Copies of this chain bind each other. A is one copy, B any other.
Amino acid sequence: MPRPDVPDLVERARRGEARAVARLISLVENGVEAGAGDAGTADLRAVAAALAPHTGRAHVVGLTGPPGVGKSTSTSVLVGALRAQGRRVGVLAVDPSSPFSGGALLGDRVRMGEHATDEGVFIRSMATRGHLGGLAWATPQALRVLDAAGCDVVLVETVGVGQSEVEVVALADTTVVLLAPGMGDGVQAAKAGILEIADVFVVNKADRDGAAQTVRDLRHMMSLDGGEGGRGWKRPVVPTVAARGEGADDLVAALDAHRDWMDAGGERRRRRIARAGSEIQAITLERVRARIGDLSDASGLPGLAERVVDGELDPYGAADELAGTVSGR
């Protein structure tokens, strides 16, 4: 396969050409999968470098919540509400639940059908494809592709369970936590820690029994800390009935208010700097990991491992010896 013309792809993506956007995200995914020295790695780096000057505009919104809460429907409805205002929208549906998924599980996402032919919407499903941590690597770059392609808002929706909530927080300017009535009381949810990560709460299925109680529980819980959870931002609780599209405009308003609040006080920039810092650290660490792997034979790792198996050495002592080799001390 010929090497891609990355600057041309970025230029076409910036003009909103869906195929160029898709190709760039594929290059990012393949690059993350590729080993050091592979052409894919060079492509990833070329894409990252070419995107850099064109990023930083999109409002990145993460959506998370327990399974069954209506995340998918809410995402779709939110896309509709944003499109009705003429905004360009990107959607990344991220599934970190299985290393065995072997590709994007969601396929063409039938439920997104109404938006599939809309030129103002880019939808992409991402799965781990067997590479541990691969999703965490590829997603920030995929976000940058959608950002450079002129998306005003990029929605990152996590599918499945696991560390997805943590990953969303690590990616988003604004984190939306969706709850629904009858999914356990407020105390349970608070215990689970998921409430702490929210910038905006949505109580979906608000037409069901117990919805008012869930909203009250949330507001009561927040009254204990002034509703801001130490943020300086009073976190709104937005009731929705996503299946009927109700509350979508309120949610858009809440997202905009949070964005404006972040921009006014410099919070968005602070979050982004912290995020970029973590990403740089992770990339650096991955390189060191590769270097340890490369050096493993030379550094006597098999011998160390054998001594651990024979009970002559514990793994921490062995790591002392290996670290000495790798760092060149």
Contact = CB atoms under 8 A, between A and B. Distances in A.
Contacts of A161: 97-98, 160-162
Interface in A211-262: none
Nearest to A271: B309
Interface string A154-172: 0000001111011000000
A305 B271 CA distance: 11
Given A45-B316, A314-B49, A316-B49, A277 B292 contact: no
Contacts of A269: 309
Contacts of A315: 48, 140, 276, 279-280, 283
Interface string A272-298: 111111011101110111001100100
Contact of A48 (B53, B54, B312, B316): B316
Contacts of A276: 304-306, 308-309, 315, 318
A317 interface: yes
Interface string A131-144: 01000000010000
Nearest to A100: B193
B323 A301 contact: no
A1 interface: no
A309 B162 contact: no
29 contacts: A48-B315, A49-B314, A51-B314, A54-B311, A56-B309, A56-B310, A97-B161, A99-B165, A160-B161, A161-B161, A161-B162, A272-B309, A275-B305, A276-B308, A276-B318, A277-B301, A280-B301, A280-B304, A280-B305, A280-B308, A280-B315, A280-B319, A280-B322, A281-B301, A281-B322, A284-B292, A285-B288, A327-B327, A327-B328
**Shortest beta-carbon contacts, A-B, top 8:** A277-B305, A283-B319, A48-B314, A276-B305, A276-B308, A100-B193, A162-B162, A52-B314
